[in-house]
Structure 1
Amino acid sequence: MKRIFSMLMIVLCVITLVSCGGKNNYGKVNAKDGKEEYTSNGEENPVAGRSITEFKVKDINGNEVTEEIFKDKKITMINIWATFCGPCIEEIPYLQEIYAEKKDDGFNLVGIVSDGDSEENIEMANKILDKSKVEYTNILMGDSSLKDIVSQFGYVPVSIFVNSEGKIKGVFSAGAETKEEYLVKINNLLKEESKDEK
């Protein structure tokens, strides 16, 4: 019986790692127009350069959210996660820390609950977010244009970054990162957007 249980646990762990996506390494690939572009495990961001415009969705508390959420911030990090994903849940506490530390610097953080298509999963998402005392907005994509963006990635967590106009930057995170790794990206993007404003 113990042997069967052990085998089941190993299989479950492997499935979870494959489903969620793993740790990643980032490297500078090239410079276009003086701006650095990054890849994740050799991947380029499949949605870089696209714009997220005109959507109307609900957050997990039933409040309406539109593309206006990007408007007053230089950079918004969109963290795509799922309730079944261990690495997604593990990074939520320090994502909240990042949000609290950087929100007054022109930064915003928005979560997309990729499996928020049932009441059961929405309830689970709320429990996960409440446990970490999350203050940043978490939305359900429904049938909005966000669904097309999320569908370009076959794993979670994924984090993409958009400017105040909703344009998706080349820098992205395919898999969970450390707080420090996220802060390097965020600080560089905030500097880049500040230069573009001048």
Structure 2
Amino acid sequence: MNRLVTLLISALFLLIGCKSNTNEDVKAVALDGSKDNTELIEEQDEVKFPIYDFESFKPLLNKEDDKTYIVNFWATWCKPCIEEMPYFEKTYAEQKQNGVELVLVSLDMPAMWKTRLEPFVEKRGLQGKVVILDDPKMNDWIPKVDENWGGGIPATLIYNKEKRAFFERGFTYEELNEELKKFL
């Protein structure tokens, strides 16, 4: 028995000792695209979209300029999210001249960024600003987006400097426009 335990412990040390500690294939990219910002986010394989943790993402939820923001939380694996995406894009195309900005916040997992997210955005020709929110501390940041959000998607925040409304549900084109009219 002692011999078996010794063999298992030796194998464990061998496996741990073989683990590489280099991060040569991981690149740090700042929120503004530069490489020297102090708010660095890890990026793998040059993903086409900005990658945020919640703290660096939070300013996108609190802009106080003259625009109205539609911030949609979605993922490529979420069927209701995909079904409503054309309504967000159409509304954005119709309303951007009125100061409306569309931010599409992907909650896809890192393994999906290159294989699913990028092809989806390219194939659909999405015009809204696509960003990736990669922060595993969901229980911490979800209530900071909206205290009543249970974490389900699709979810949408519409806000401007005067008011904000949060919706934990999908939209039809008509419903989205009806809510947006309250902000314009």
TM over 0.5, yes or no?
yes
- Shift of residue 157, structure 1, vs aligned partner: 0.3
Partner of 1:39: none
More displaced 10-residue stretch of structure 1: 149-158 or 122-131: 149-158
Give me the whole-angstrom Cα distance separating, in 2, the residues matched to 1:120 and 1:101: 30
Unaligned runs of 5+ in 2: 1-38
Q: How does the TM-score come out when normalised to structure 2?
A: 0.58
Please tell me whether residue 103 in structure 1 is matched to residue 100 in structure 2.
no
Partner of 2:118: 126
Contact 1:160 1:168 in 2 (8 A): no
- The structure in which a higher percent of residues are strand is 1
Count of aligned residue pairs for this structure pair: 132
- Shift of residue 98, structure 1, vs aligned partner: 0.8
Larger Rg: 2
Give me the whole-angstrom Cα distance separating, in 2, the residues matched to 1:182 and 1:74: 17
In 2 relative to 1, CA 56–159 (structure 1 residues): closer, same or farther, beyond 3 Å? farther
Give me the whole-angstrom Cα distance separating, in 1, the residues matched to 2:183 and 2:50: 29
In 2 relative to 1, CA 64–154 (structure 1 residues): closer, same or farther, beyond 3 Å? closer
Give me the whole-angstrom Cα distance separating, in 2, the residues matched to 1:102 and 1:125: 25
Please tell me whether residue 138 in structure 1 is matched to residue 130 in structure 2.
yes
Cα-to-partner distance string for 1:122-164 (whole Å, 9 max, x where unaligned): 4312222222210111111134999713694331100012225
Cα-to-partner distance string for 1:31-71 (whole Å, 9 max, x where unaligned): xxxxxxxxxxxxxxxxxxxxxxxx8878x614478636945
Q: Match for 1:153 among 150, 153, 156?
A: 150
Q: Which residue identity is paired with 1:172?
A: F
Contact 1:56 1:64 in 2 (8 A): no
In 2 relative to 1, CA 73–126 (structure 1 residues): closer, same or farther, beyond 3 Å? farther
Q: Which residue identity is paired with 1:160?
A: L
Partner of 2:4: none
Contact 1:83 1:89 in 2 (8 A): yes
Q: Which residue identity is paired with 2:119?
A: K
- Shift of residue 96, structure 1, vs aligned partner: 0.9
Q: Which SS does the other structure have where 1:110 is aligned?
A: strand
Unaligned runs of 5+ in 1: 1-54, 191-198
Give RMSD over aligned pairs: 3.4
Q: Which residue identity is paired with 1:61?
A: K
Partner of 2:170: 176
Give me the whole-angstrom Cα distance separating, in 2, the residues matched to 1:133 and 1:155: 25
Q: Which has the higher contact order (CA 8 A, sep 6+)?
A: 1
Q: How does the TM-score come out when normalised to structure 1?
A: 0.54
